Amino acid sequence: MRKSTFTIITAALSTLAAFSGCSNKGQSGQTAFSPGAISAHVRFLADDLLEGRFTGTRGYDLAAAYVATQFESYGLEPGGDDGTYYQQVPFRSAVRVAGAQSLLLINGGKTTKLVELQDFVLRTPDRVHTKSNVTAEVVFAGFGISEPVINHEDYANIDARGKIVAMFDRAPDAFVPNELAYYASTSYKVQTAVAHGAVGVLFLRTPAEEERVPWQRLTANQERPAMAWRDEAGGLHPGWPEIQGLVRLNRSGAEALFQNSKVPFTDAVTAAEAGKPQSFDLGITVRMSSRSRHHEFSSPNVVAVLPGSDPVLKDEYIVYTAHLDHVGTGDPVNGDPVYNGAHDNAVGTAMMLEVARNFASAETRPGRSIIFLALTGEERGLLGSDYFAQNPTVPRDNIVANLNLDMFLLLFPMTEVVAFGAEHSSLGAVAERAAAQVGLKLTPDPMPEETIFVRSDQYSFVRQGVPSLYVDTGLNTDAAGFDGPTLIREWLKNSYHKPSDEYDPAMHFESGARAAHFNFLIGMEVANTKARPTWNEGDFFLEKFGQ
Ligand SMILES: [Zn+2]
């Protein structure tokens, strides 16, 4: 039943594509975007042999060699360092020294010792200092947002200089999605705290956040390193030398932190839920210390180039991206310690390889040049993409668009597609046309509260002012017998960043092939249109990052 329904849909859609006159046909008459090729790439990249492709490991390097040789076999030119397909990214990793973290609350003569993993957990091991140690008064700063233009000031009644700032994770629910995403980011919150003179940050959780992200997920896999990329001057990205501790508190830790506060923790939660700015002294001192071990190494982005055919436009580039790394091995689940990352993001990489192969074999070359970029360090904080976006192997101003693929879920026959970021730039209209051409319905962001537009590699390009899209499957499907939202919700709950994100021959690779075609058409139109893509006038990201 399931299979036959699916075959009919696929057949109907390929007929549609044939009549639409788009150039998706290979010489055999079959669609040139091959479900079988995507399946094969995923099968290899998600094999246990690659041990979860953690940045800096042999498993990741094997995956990189695989992608580089695929690029070579398509006839694409190397686009990395010194005529190779690799752009080496210099990294520092930091691993927490087990048992060396402590957090004391000092309230007059009374000292409370919080227990690591129970009351508190490091937000990230310290990447700057191997030993950090600070004793300071604590001030509370709502969501840690300081932004006159949106009339939200969480630092109004406090002086954070030399102090530790406690703040809620996320941003007010009432914020429109792109603002929510920007202000909810760790980098915004920590940078703002640093700008106000803070020496440490304690992150608190609202009940909604406790529901969204179970504490257990935050305390698992503590042995995995945090990372930052190193610039030539020795600076770290991200790196906040002023900060001596980034810690998350559980409810028990938060309540203890508020033991001397004039405002009870529950009232602070209520005000946060109402989105109200708030700031006050907590009347307590925190002594926190931690230790981490550092290691320096490099790990490559894999870069290939298809030179454009237009004498003028060929100096400009569209960058396709997909992250190649995953989270490696870790705490075993049902006896399985390998976090294979089939959907996250062997699938996106495989789809990008199909896009690359089709560009390389297209009868007419695109006008602009195309870069295909398999990224390292995404799971460690969008690091490989941030490195490339800040140190591109082509002139930065000549990058006109980024098209990213990450965790494209092949759980059902896809009839809807989402292009995250479509509402921000002229790329939205291009995506509309491409979707129509392959017979897919383009739908708006179905879960704005998940702030997906800032959670994958396109955001590194957005921060450099480059209009970007992140193509993903829609939530719903017209295919009979599939409940899209439930399948996605269950997958996110049971398999996201878990060993069960594995290769499965029942994955819907046909959907991956169609989405790859969709993504190909977006790039092809951008490559052949004289005018560069532009941010929409007055767009939030244009205001924040536009050049
Ligand atoms: Zn991931």
CA of 348 to the centre of ligand 1 (A): 11
Rounded to whole angstroms, the Cα distance separating 494 from 488 reads 10
CA of 271 to the centre of ligand 1 (A): 32
**Average pLDDT for 370-395:** 97
Domain boundary among 268, 294, 320: 294
Provide the 3-class DSSP secondary structure of residue 467: coil
User: What pTM does this model have?
Assistant: 0.90
305 and 354 together in one domain: yes
What is the tally of structural domains in the chain?
2
Identify whether the C-beta of residue 123 lies closer than 8 Å to the C-beta of residue 186: yes
393 within some domain: yes
CA of 497 to the centre of ligand 1 (A): 6
Rounded to whole angstroms, the Cα distance separating 16 from 210 reads 46
Residue whose entry in the numeric block shows the structure tokens 């257990």: 216
- Residue 546 has a pLDDT of 84
Residue 201 structure tokens = 């940050």
228 and 347 together in one domain: no
CATH number of domain containing 245: 3.50.30.30
- Residue 452 has a pLDDT of 83
- Residue 447 has a pLDDT of 81
CA of 338 to the centre of ligand 1 (A): 14
52 and 118 together in one domain: no
Domain boundary among 263, 294, 325: 294
53 and 106 together in one domain: no
Host domain of residue 396: 29-90+296-419+464-545
CA of 344 to the centre of ligand 1 (A): 5
119 and 247 together in one domain: yes
CA of 200 to the centre of ligand 1 (A): 27
CA of 140 to the centre of ligand 1 (A): 31
- Residue 547 has a pLDDT of 63
CA of 139 to the centre of ligand 1 (A): 33
CA of 452 to the centre of ligand 1 (A): 12
CATH number of domain containing 519: 3.40.630.10
CA of 379 to the centre of ligand 1 (A): 6
Quick: pLDDT tens for 458-511. 999 999 999 999 999 999 999 999 999 999 999 998 999 999 999 999 999 999
CA of 467 to the centre of ligand 1 (A): 22
CA of 482 to the centre of ligand 1 (A): 24
Domain boundary among 279, 294, 309: 294
- CA count, 13 A, side-chain hemisphere, 356: 34
Percent of the chain residues topping a pLDDT of 70: 94
Query: Following CA atoms 331, 337, 341, 344 in sequence, which dihedral angle do they give, to the nearest 10 degrees?
Result: -10
CA of 24 to the centre of ligand 1 (A): 30
Please, what is the average pLDDT of the chain? Answer: 92
CA of 122 to the centre of ligand 1 (A): 20
Residue 352 pLDDT level (bands cut at 50, 70, 90) = very high
357 and 233 together in one domain: no
CA of 343 to the centre of ligand 1 (A): 9
Quick: pLDDT tens for 504-534. 999 999 999 999 999 999 999 999 999 999 9
What are the distances in angstroms from CA 430 to CA 421, 426, 434? Answer: 12, 7, 6
CA of 498 to the centre of ligand 1 (A): 10
17 within some domain: no
Quick: pLDDT tens for 315-328. 999 999 999 999 99
54 CB-near residues (< 8 Å, 6+ apart): 60, 224, 325, 326, 327, 328, 329, 379
Quick: pLDDT tens for 26-61. 444 345 999 999 999 999 999 999 999 999 999 999
49 within some domain: yes
384 within some domain: yes
Quick: pLDDT tens for 180-194. 888 988 999 999 999
Please say if the pLDDT value at position 14 is more than 60: no
454 within some domain: no
Please say if the pLDDT value at position 19 is more than 90: no
Residue 138 structure tokens = 């604590």
CA of 226 to the centre of ligand 1 (A): 14
Please say if the pLDDT value at position 227 is more than 80: yes
Identify whether the C-beta of residue 245 lies closer than 8 Å to the C-beta of residue 254: no
Instruction: List, as ranges, residues with CB under 5 A of the ion ligand 1.
Output: 344
290 and 354 together in one domain: no
Residue 410 structure tokens = 């092949």
Q: How many residues does the chain have?
A: 547
320 and 259 together in one domain: no
CA of 153 to the centre of ligand 1 (A): 33
- Residue 9 has a pLDDT of 35
446 within some domain: no
CA of 502 to the centre of ligand 1 (A): 13
425 within some domain: no
Other beta carbons less than 10 A from residue 447's beta carbon: 14
CA of 455 to the centre of ligand 1 (A): 9
424 within some domain: no
Quick: pLDDT tens for 153-185. 999 999 999 999 999 999 998 888 778 888 988
Identify whether the C-beta of residue 520 lies closer than 8 Å to the C-beta of residue 355: yes
Inter-axis angle of helices 427-438 and 509-528, to 10 degrees? 130
CA of 80 to the centre of ligand 1 (A): 24
Distance of alpha carbon 486 from its chain centroid, rounded? 23
CA of 26 to the centre of ligand 1 (A): 33
332 and 277 together in one domain: no
358 and 501 together in one domain: yes
CA of 3 to the centre of ligand 1 (A): 29
151 and 253 together in one domain: yes
347 and 482 together in one domain: yes
CA of 457 to the centre of ligand 1 (A): 11
CA of 413 to the centre of ligand 1 (A): 22
Residue whose entry in the numeric block shows the structure tokens 């998706």: 24
